[in-house]
């Protein structure tokens, strides 16, 4: 698999570290009534066969966190973009 880092260009898989589903949203508060939301956020992940947006880090390169739109079955990559803060840093 090859991923095109917006900063460094197309690079091989080993330069990247995988994290997982980019869709999950961190609950905004730590209030006790948020317990279920926290459980979902920390532990529950979809496991789709097909297209998914994922977090990857270019750990062997610029260190940027990326959102990679990838098909988990064919490994086709539809888009790679920097997260907002990484975009700012790249400027």
91 binds another protein (CB under 8 A): no
Q: Rounded to whole angstroms, how far apart are CA atoms 15 and 67?
A: 15
Phi, psi angles (nearest 5°) of residue 8 = -105, -10
Shortest separation between residue 66's beta carbon and another protein, angstroms: 9
Q: Measuring CA to CA, how many Å separate 89 from each of 24, 63, 83, 85?
A: 23, 11, 10, 6
- Site residues for another protein, 28-57, by CB under 8 A, read 28-30, 32, 34-35, 38, 41-43, 55, 57
Q: Measuring CA to CA, how many Å separate 40 from each of 33, 68, 85, 91?
A: 13, 22, 25, 35
Nearer of residues 55 and 69 to another protein, judged by Cβ: 55
* Residues that bind another protein in the complex, under the rule CB under 8 A: 1-2, 10, 12-13, 17, 19, 22, 26-30, 32, 34-35, 38, 41-43, 55, 57, 59, 63-65, 75, 77, 82-86, 88-89
């Amino acid at each position: 698999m090859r991923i095109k880092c917006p900063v460094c260009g197309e690079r091989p898989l080993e330069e990247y570290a995988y994290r997982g589903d980019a869709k999950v949203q961190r609950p905004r508060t730590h209030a006790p009534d948020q317990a279920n939301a926290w459980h979902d956020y920390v532990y529950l992940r979809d496991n789709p066969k097909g297209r998914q947006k994922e977090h990857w880090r270019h750990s062997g390169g610029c260190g940027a966190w990326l959102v990679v739109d990838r098909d988990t079955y064919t490994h086709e990559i539809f888009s790679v973009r920097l997260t907002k803060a990484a975009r700012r840093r790249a400027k």
